[in-house]
Amino acid sequence: MTTKLPFLLLACVACAPQRVVRQTALLEGVGSVRIDTTAIRGYTRFLADDDLAGRATGSPGGDIAAVYIAAACTGLGLAPVGGTYFQNVALEEASISTDGTEFTVTGSAGVRAFAYPRSFLPNAGLAPPAGFAGPAMYGATSDDLLAGGLVLSGAVAVVGGALARDDDDSLKARGAVGLVQLVLDKGQYLLYMRSRGDSRLRLADSSIARSFSSSLPSIVAGPDLSRRLLNGLPISSKATALPDSVAVRVAFDGRPLNARNVACLLPGTDPRLKDTAVVYTAHYDHLGVGIPDDRGDSIYNGFSDNAAGVAMLLSIAQAFSVRGNRPLHSVLFLFFTGEEQGLLGSDYHVARPLWPLARIKGVINLDAGAPPGRPWNWRLAGGDRTALGTLARDVAAEHGWSATTSPATPNSDYFPFARLGVPAVFIVPGNGPYQGLTADSSLALRRRWDHYHDPADEWAADFPFAGLGRYAEYAFYIGRAMDLGKRERSAEPRPDAPQSPH
């Protein structure tokens, strides 16, 4: 591989220790930290460069990103874990072949075949050899379908609405052999196409529990196939037997693939506490090269998702290294691969932990994009009815911010920890106006810079990085409060709080 000289120079600058924080002793010992966004600019500039080709899991660009992160950790004085910065994650890749991949609808109007990927996408639970067939049973939601009194044994469940995590388990228990999710909106289907790509990855070790998996083979149907299956039926209809039967065949070409998690440790200063860790997580992979956009750009650079999260973790590491901020407990920074492919790296890590899960005080996950303004309201996914969620709300309140909590869901790398009972929160900037800005100007900023899972999600010199500084500061404050143990207390269930599944 040929490496460009400016690219190497940028790497050297970004990996060098940076003067990124200012600290004063406020807030019951937690301190007031201001993270200089210059370092965040440098980290994201490298990770979102076209030369990394979108950092797809197990790709050369992904490998370069992993080495770069390890080099940055070295420059910040962080130690490897178990003698290495890397944790190998063995995978199997199944590339979908257009030949032999087909969705067939059979009914009174005859037989019609639909092609991949224009009309449908293999979604989950499909591995070589793959396919399912049966009469089609429809419900606007899975609950409608389950409660509708239809015979689902040997049938294909067709659902019009979004799916909850355990829907496939419930449908399989009733005898369904496959699942079809209808998508009538062209833009939404295009987002699915971009996100899924033309291959599917799974952990080579099938004994490892998966957080984001399906017990039923499932596909996503695009607008034309969805309309054909509905055949004039409103998508809001309750449970009904459709007049057609369906058959799905998916052809794969498989190969082994290796990817790597990156782990970096800042040892604690208290000999009695350093064997327990505060953990920060962010995934570094993205979607690689995929469907070109209107400009012809096919590289999904992943600036906000999640080069920004990686950059914030590295800046938080530097903040903890400043005299006066050195932690009593150890602080572990985990950079996961395979998040975009279904939490592969984090699922692997919790099954083969580099640090004992029982000795983790809590996990803080950053993977909610790059806010183009300073947030001052937050949502703490996974913080519902937990002491860590209560702590994080208290920390927000002390800074004049607000924070709400919600149950854990398998939408990012904190979930595998929460699934196993480790306290974990995913910090998500709220939807309210940014500090100092009106609702209209905040909305305009979001429209200008939010390019989720799109080739336009790329680094720009004029991006307003102050929001990422604020995001990193809040994450630092929560970890610092955990380390000092200043505000930890049991969370009392609120009467109106929904029951967390974990």
Residue spans of the domains in the chain: they are: 23-79+267-290+304-444+460-484, 92-255
> Do residues 480 and 31 lie in contact, with contact meaning Cβ atoms separated by under 8 Å?
yes
The rounded distance, in Å, linking the Cα atoms of 2 and 160 is 48
Q: Which of 58, 49, 57, 53 is nearest to 11 (CA)?
A: 49
The dihedral region occupied by 100, where left means phi > 0, alpha psi between -120 and 50, and beta the remainder, is left
Instruction: Give the per-residue pLDDT at 264.
Output: 98
> Do residues 301 and 308 lie in contact, with contact meaning Cβ atoms separated by under 8 Å?
no
Superfamily of domain 23-79+267-290+304-444+460-484: Zn peptidases (3.40.630.10)
Q: Which of 282, 501, 494, 498 is nearest to 390 (CA)?
A: 494
For the chain, 502 residues long, the average pLDDT of each consecutive 10-residue run is: 41 45 40 84 98 97 98 98 97 89 92 94 70 95 90 95 77 93 93 82 92 83 96 92 95 92 98 98 96 92 98 97 93 97 96 98 97 97 96 96 95 97 98 96 97 95 97 98 69 32 30
Architecture field, domain 92-255: 3-Layer(bba) Sandwich (3.50)
> Do residues 471 and 427 lie in contact, with contact meaning Cβ atoms separated by under 8 Å?
yes
> Do residues 158 and 136 lie in contact, with contact meaning Cβ atoms separated by under 8 Å?
yes
Residue type for position 357? L
Instruction: Give the per-residue pLDDT at 22.
Output: 40
Instruction: Give the per-residue pLDDT at 20.
Output: 42
E strand spans, 118-239: 120-124, 130-139, 156-159, 178-182, 199-203, 218-221
Give the β-pairing of 402-406 and 377-381. Answer: parallel
Instruction: Give the per-residue pLDDT at 129.
Output: 59
Instruction: Give the per-residue pLDDT at 7.
Output: 46
Instruction: Compute, in degrees rounded to 10, the torsion defined by CA atoms 157, 159, 165, 169.
Output: -10
